[in-house]
Amino acid sequence: MQSLTIQPARAIRGEITVPGDKSISHRAIMFGSIAQGITTVRGFLRGEDNFATLNAFRAMGIGIEDDGEMLRIKGMGLHGLDEPEDVLDCGNSGTSMRLITGLLAGQRFFSVLTGDRYLRKRPMARVIEPLSEMGGCIFGRAGGDKAPLAIVGKELTGATYSSRVASAQVKSAILLAGLYASGETEVREPHLSRDHSERMLRHFGAVVETFDGGVRMQGGRELEGRDIIVPGDISSAAFFLVAATIVPGSELLIRGVGVNPTRTGIIDILIAMGADIELLDLRQASGEPVADLLVRSARLKGIEIGGDLVPRAIDEFPIICVAASLAEGRTVIRDARELRVKETDRIAAMAANLRKGGVQIVETEDGMEITGRETLLGSVAESFGDHRIAMSMLVAGLVADGESEVRDVECISTSFPDFSGLLAKVMLV
Ligand code: S3P
């Protein structure tokens, strides 16, 4: 088990680019593999989660060349995948498992998906239930809720499904199955979750209709290979936005970050807390908005966070907890029950870690209340096998009153292999 130590920083300064967006990188492989013809992908995230997806499609016979700069996917059309000879291993990646389950439900073959010990604990009924309503035949442990999952490909029929959770993984799994289903597929969700699948489907030539509260699509139509440029991941940029905000005397430019409005909750939350963040040179790449983000340090104040802001910042709560720990007054997070079923229980994990840093935290069922302080105490934090907990606690270490340590940091390579290298580049000690 590897640990990292981190020293307090004098400032965060300079200019960086962050690695490609994880959600968009997964989708580029998936849609490229089942489209007709060549898809190229630039800016692909070279993290373990995305390689799990890439390897799964290679195992189903898709040719994917990688010259280190660009991927070249030889799409074989909707029915061009081969039955995998072995179990497909999704590693730590919930997106791989849930989306690929949707895609495999409508194939003419049998397949099995598994993952690491963390992923095998995460709920899968949320995708199996709607896919079963479409005619899917999927078995899993724990009464059909946990991986390994066995998928017997079936002919699917389009359905209308109202999801109880605002989840892009659930929505995307249903849309992927919907590509294979007869008739129309419609998904409704309580709040709008990230819409990368809808945007990318359109980019690949699909007719996707979005309306207030949901999305609908016709099945049975082939996609066409396309060129994709993956923007920088705002979820990775988030660690640097908070670092440069909380370390006094900082100024950082983060170039080429995806600013899809379904993902920019972190910017809205930090600005509401008093942060100084500017969006510069707003542009488009492959149907996604992109900008450079300029951030300068600022004194934060506590706020209340809930409702539709939650899915727009769903992966950023660990680092929001760090920002709240340094804010003046109390931050209240509610409507965020989903955090309990992420890579780990992120409410419990951040509460345990930040308490060691001297922060006063009250855990609630669907969130937490955090009372900020001037500095944190240097401490030893645990990642709980969760990349975003590990990176958040390293950022917390920048404003501690001495050295801090984060244990079990290998997980960082699922989404941001060079995180500490990049941090070292902009950190003045
Ligand atoms: C993702 C959706 C979100 C997010 C995850 C990536 C996606 O999960 O937390 O990191 O790529 O669709 P949920 O759909 O479970 O909210």
Read off the pLDDT band of 14 (50, 70, 90). Answer: very high
Residues in the chain: 429
304-305, strands of its sheet edge to edge: 304-305, 330-333, 367-371, 360-364
pLDDT attached to residue 345: 98
Q: Which atom of ligand 1 is nearest to the CA of 170?
A: 14
Among 193, 260, 345, 411, say which to mutate for ligand 1: greatest number of ligand atoms within 8 Å of CB. Answer: 193
Distance CA 38, CA 4 (A): 41
Among the listed residues 170, 165, 213, 171, the one whose alpha carbon sits nearest the alpha carbon of residue 192: 213
Q: How far is the CA of 406 from the centre of ligand 1 (A)?
A: 25
Q: Phi then psi for 251, rounded to 5 degrees?
A: -155, 120
Structure token pair of residue 240: 């640097």
CA-atom Rg of the chain in angstroms:
21
Distance CA 409, CA 257 (A): 25
Distance CA 204, CA 9 (A): 45
Each residue's pLDDT tens digit, 193-236 = 999 999 999 999 999 999 999 999 999 999 999 999 999 999 99
Distance CA 30, CA 102 (A): 11
* Catalytic positions: 315
Residue with tokens 């951030």: 295
pLDDT attached to residue 298: 98
Percent of the chain with pLDDT over 70: 100
Read off the pLDDT band of 325 (50, 70, 90). Answer: very high
Q: How far is the CA of 24 from the centre of ligand 1 (A)?
A: 11
- Ligand 1 environment, Cβ below 6 A: 23, 95, 167-169, 172, 193-194, 314-315, 338
Q: How far is the CA of 328 from the centre of ligand 1 (A)?
A: 30
Q: Which atom of ligand 1 is nearest to the CA of 165?
A: 16
Structure token pair of residue 180: 């294979």
- Looking from the CA of 100 toward its CB, the CA atoms found within 13 Å total 36
Closest residue CA from atom 10 of ligand 1: 315
Each residue's pLDDT tens digit, 233-248 = 999 999 999 999 999 9
Q: How far is the CA of 167 from the centre of ligand 1 (A)?
A: 6
- Asked if 279 and 293 count as a contact pair (C-beta separation under 8 A), the reply is yes
Q: Is the pTM of this model over 0.75?
A: yes
Among 187, 194, 391, say which to mutate for ligand 1: greatest number of ligand atoms within 8 Å of CB. Answer: 194
Read off the pLDDT band of 2 (50, 70, 90). Answer: very high
> How deeply is 69 buried, as exposed, middle or buried, from its count of CB atoms within 10 A (0-12, 13-18, 19+)?
exposed
Q: Which atom of ligand 1 is nearest to the CA of 235?
A: 10
Each residue's pLDDT tens digit, 275-305 = 999 999 999 999 999 999 999 999 999 999 9
Each residue's pLDDT tens digit, 123-166 = 999 999 999 999 999 999 999 999 999 999 999 999 999 999 99
Q: What is the DSSP string of 220-239?
A: SPPPB--EEEPPBPHHHHHH
